[in-house]
Chain A
Amino acid sequence: GAVVSQHPSWVICKSGTSVKIECRSLDFQATTMFWYRQFPKQSLMLMATSNEGSKATYEQGVEKDKFLINHASLTLSTLTVTSAHPEDSSFYICSARTGQAILATNEKLFFGSGTQLSVL
């Protein structure tokens, strides 16, 4: 099946620094990738949708200057948390959807393993 690789798995950083998280589709082309944030024992909150070669679409309330998303190729999207603060500490998960016309494959999401960010 389709594999999505997300790195790093966890990161600890000082307040004020920036952190980059990578999301790669290993065996398929991901025309669309999604970035989610998840607090402990809670659901996934969609942060933004990124399409290859275009600007990301952010959900309401998500600061696009703080959470920079780049989807420069069909296999890589990055999320950069700029000037991180303790309140940004969370579990960040990416997912990808193929752009292929195989309907059954196109509708479901393939998830990365997530990144636990802790900002001190």
Chain B
Amino acid sequence: SQQGEEDPQALSIQEGENATMNCSYKTSINNLQWYRQNSGRGLVHLILIRSNEREKHSGRLRVTLDTSKKSSSLLITASRAADTASYFCATDDGNNRLAFGKGNQVVVIP
């Protein structure tokens, strides 16, 4: 079943701007992960945040997790044209499966 559900946004931003996307889920989780998918390709793992963490950074990525609201956000700072992709959150409830959200299409205009 699909737990993670991004706000159904299609973001179009200028290079250098920040991109923010959100994800909400419904049940308890072990961790939440963000993945990127370029058109017609597989997914690439970006960052994982555990249920006892509130914020995590990795390069230009910043992820927050609010377990009380069952939501997460992904911020990409100083975006580049190469960041153009679809971004998915996925929740891990500890049962060896990931449930993916609907995805956010991000277009970075050079």
Contacts and interface: CB of A to CB of B under 8 A. Distances in A.
A108 B48 contact: yes
A116 B40 contact: yes
A114 B103 contact: no
Contacts of A49: 96-97
Query: Among the interface residues A32, A36, A49, A111, which one has the most CB atoms of the partner chain B within 10 A?
Result: A111
Query: Among the interface residues B48, B92, B98, B99, which one has the most CB atoms of the partner chain A within 10 A?
Result: B98
A49 to B, nearest CB: 6
How many A residues touch the partner, as a band?
20 to 34
A97 B92 CA distance: 13
A49 B95 CA distance: 11
Contact of B92 (A4, A41, A107, A114): A107
Majority-rule SS of B interface residues: strand
A67 interface: no
Interface string A88-105: 000101010100000010
A4 B92 CA distance: 20
B110 to A, nearest CB: 23
A27 B91 CA distance: 26
A109 B99 CA distance: 12
Query: Among the interface residues B2, B30, B45, which one has the most CB atoms of the partner chain A within 10 A?
Result: B45
Contacts of A78: none
A4 B44 CA distance: 11
Contacts of B97: 34, 46, 49
Given A49-B97, A114-B41, 4 more contacts: A107-B48, A107-B92, A114-B42, A116-B40
Interface of A: 4, 6, 32, 34, 36, 41-46, 49, 91, 93, 95, 97, 104, 107-114, 116
Interface of B: 2, 30-31, 33, 35, 40-45, 48, 88, 92, 96-103, 105
Q: Which 3 A-B pairs have the closest CB atoms?
A: A111-B42, A111-B43, A44-B100
